Amino acid sequence: MRKRVALAQTLILDPRILLMDEPFSALDIQTRQLMENELLELWSADRKSVVFITHDLEEAISLSDRVVVLSAGPETRPIGEFAIDLPRPRDVAEIRLTPRFIELHTEIWHRMKAEVLKGYAQQQK
């Protein structure tokens, strides 16, 4: 409920751009998918720009029109940009089962896998 209230409080202010940094990361998977679908519905009503930061590739693909992949730190930089051409409206649970979603996931994962491994290695030091 707190996540829903926080989202509602933000939207009431009618921002031109909505910045969301891992907003659903603490939720269980079922609640997370419900919140993702709510976000998609709210977005479709007024189509504001949303910058959504996530470490979850499936979440990034299912919510976005464009995914920008960043390198591992400490000097993070963009290393890839991918157009997400999945049809709208979307249901995040259903879209993840489509062949195009799987293609996009595979393409983006291949691009970012080395960076994920670099980040993991840095954490182990």
pLDDT tens-place string over residues 25-69: 888 999 999 989 988 998 888 888 999 999 999 999 999 999 999
Q: What is the CA radius of gyration of the chain?
A: 15
Nearest-angstrom CA–CA distance, 87 and 118: 33
Q: How many CB atoms are located within 10 Å of the residue 61 CB? A: 22
Alpha-carbon distances, residue 98 vs 11, 48, 101, 117 (angstroms): 31, 26, 5, 27
Query: What single-letter amino acid sits at 55?
Result: H
In the chain the domains, ranked by start, together with CATH numbers, are 2-124 (3.40.50.300)
pLDDT band, residue 97 (cuts 50/70/90): very high
